[in-house]
Amino acid sequence: MQGKRILLVVGGGVAAFKAPELVRLIRKAGASVTPVLTRGGAEFVTPLTLSALAGAPCHTDLFDLTREAEMGHIQLSRAADLVVVVPATADLMAKMANGHADDLASTLLMATDKRVLIAPAMNVRMWDHAATRRNRATLEGDGILFVGPDEGEMACGEWGEGRMAEPDQILAAIRAALSPLPTLPAGMPSLRLPPETLVTPPAPQPLKGRHVIVTSGPTHEPIDPVRYIANRSSGAQGTAIATALRDLGARVSFVTGPATVPPPERVDVIRVETAREMRDAVEAALPADAAVMAAAVADWQVVNTSDRKMKKDGSGRPPALEMAENPDILAWIGSDARRPALVVGFAAETHDVVANATSKRQRKNADWIVANDVSDGTGIMGGTENEITLVTPDGAEPWPRLAKAEVARRLAARIADALQDAGVAAS
C-alpha cells in the first residue's frame, strides 16, 4: 500500500467512531488518506480529528469555493487510487444505487472513475429491508466492493447482521482492492461477464468436520415461582464465539441459559435454565473436539425452594434460604474421560485478574482461560466490547479492547490453529 491514495468518505452512522482508527491503520500501512465527512458523520467524529490523523484537510462541503478553485470535486473524486465509504449507511447506499448527488460525498461517488469499497452499517431490519436488498444487488452489479457487515450486537440494543466490519478487516479489504487485476495477453479481446456469473471464492473452513460445544448466557437458580439467583450476562460474547466457530466450518452445540441476546443461526441450540440442566446438556453433547465454557454459571442453588411466592410476614426477617454448591461444569469436563482435546474456560474477575485466572486454569484442568475485568466502570458486562487476557500454559497474553465479535473471531482462529497443530482428528 506504500504510496497509494485513499479517499475516505465517512457516513452518518454510529460506526463512524471507528473511522479515526481506520485512518491510523491506513497511514501506518504506507498509504495517504483524504477524508470526506458527511453532515451525519460529523455528529460522531469531528473534521479536526480526521484532519489531524490523516495529515490532510478534511472536506465537508460541496460548494467550498476555495477548494473548488484549487482542485474541484471532480478532481478530488479521481485523485485517489481507491474510494472507501465507512460506514455506508442505508441512505448512502440508496443514493449510490439510484444516482443521487446532493452533497459532497454522493457527488464524489458519482464522479469517480476509481474502484469503490463500502463497509455497510445499519440496523438489522434496515439491512434486511427489501429496498436495501435491491440497492445491494444494484451496487454489486455496478462493481461496488463490499466488506461486511458482520453479525453482532448493535448500538440500538438489537442483535443481527448489520454491524460494520472492524477497521483491521476493512484494511485487509483495502489491500485486496488495491491489488493489481490480472491482465489478458496482448491482442486478446477483453471479456465483461455479467455479475451473476462471478463466483466468490469460499471462505476457508479450517474447522470443517469438527464439533465444538459452547456454553453461553447466565443460569437461573429458582428461589420460588417468581424469583431466582442469576449472574449478569447477556450472552453476547458466547453467541459471538459460536457464530465465529460456525463460520470456520465447525458443527456447534450451543448450550445457552436465558440470555438476552438471541442465539446464532445454523447451530444446534440447546436451551437450559439451571446449572444442573447446563451440565447435563453439555454431557449429552459429547463427544466434541473442543469445548468453550463461556456461560456465567451461578455458583449456588437454593435447596429449600418454595412452590409458592415467598411473602413478607411483617417481622422484617428475610426468608431463610438454604444454599448448596452447583456442579462445576468446567472442572468436570476438564477431568472427564471424554474430555475434548481443547477445553477453554472463562474467568470474569474484579481484581487480580491474571493471578485468579492462572489459578483457575490449573484447578479446573483447563487448557486456556479467557479472563477479563468486569469491575464497575469497565462496561464489559452487557457492553459491545471486551478486553481479555488469554491465559495458557505459555503464560498470559493480553489482547487489546475489541468488539466482542472480533474477540470471537480471533479466539475461533486460535482454536482452529490449536486443533490443527495438535493433529487432533475430527470427532
pLDDT digits (tens, 9 = 90+) for 344-368: 999 988 889 999 999 999 999 999 9
Do 389 and 353 contact (CB within 8 A), yes or no?
A: yes
For 392, counting Cβ atoms within 10 Å of its Cβ (0-12 exposed, 13-18 middle, 19+ buried), the class is middle
* Spatial contact of 264 and 151, defined as CB atoms under 8 Å apart: yes
By mean pLDDT, which of 39-43, 80-84, 154-158, 351-355 is the weakest? 154-158
Give the per-residue pLDDT at 199.
Answer: 47
Do 158 and 9 form a contact (C-beta atoms < 8 A)?
no
Q: What are all long-range contacts of 129-133, with beta carbons under 8 Å and residues at least 24 apart?
A: 129/90, 131/90, 131/94, 132/90, 132/93, 132/94
What's the Rg (C-alpha) of the chain? 25
Number of C-alpha atoms within 13 angstroms, CB side, residue 235?
25
- The closest alpha carbon to 85, from 1, 161, 165, 176, belongs to 165
Mean pLDDT of 250-276: 95
Q: What is the DSSP letter of 142?
A: T
**pLDDT band with cut points at 50, 70 and 90 for residue 65:** very low
Percent of the residues in the chain that have a pLDDT greater than 90, as a whole number: 44
Q: Annotate 219-247 with DSSP letters as a single string.
A: -EEEEETTEEEE----SHHHHHHHHHHHH
Domains (range + CATH), the chain:
5-181 (3.40.50.1950), 211-298+324-421 (3.40.50.10300)
Least confident stretch, 105-114, 124-133, 188-197, 397-406: 188-197
Grid coordinates representing 204 are: 476457508
pLDDT of residue 71: 47
Element (H, E) at 268: strand 268-271
Q: Can you give the pLDDT at residue 242?
A: 96
Q: Is 283 helix (H, G, I), strand (E, B) or coil?
A: helix
pLDDT above 90 (res 334): yes
Residue 356's CB is within 10 A of a number of other CB atoms, namely 17
- Tell me which of 97 and 198 has the higher pLDDT: 97
Kindly tell me if the per-residue pLDDT of 137 is higher than 60: yes
Distance CA 118, CA 96 (A): 11
pLDDT at 426: 58
- At residue 66, the pLDDT reads 46
Q: Tell me the average pLDDT across 149-162.
A: 73
Cell numbers found for residue 184: 489478458
The pLDDT, as a whole number, for residue 3 is 79
pTM, to two decimals: 0.58
C-alpha cell at 96: 449510490
pLDDT band at 123 (very low <50, low <70, confident <90, very high): confident
- What amino acid positions are annotated as catalytic residues? 156
Task: Please report the beta strands in 361-401, taking only residues with DSSP state E, as ranges in sequence order.
Answer: 368-373, 385-386, 388-392, 395-398
Q: Looking at residue 42, what is its pLDDT?
A: 87
pLDDT of residue 4: 87
Q: Can you give the pLDDT at residue 168?
A: 87
Check residue 63 and give its pLDDT.
60
Give the model's pLDDT for residue 184: 47
Say if residues 248 and 412 touch (Cβ distance below 8 Å). yes
116-120 and 82-88 beta bridge pairing = parallel
Averaged pLDDT, 234-260: 94
- Residue 424's identity, in one-letter code, is V
C-alpha cell at 104: 459532497
* Grid cell of 44 as nine digits: 460522531
| pLDDT of amino acid 277 | 97
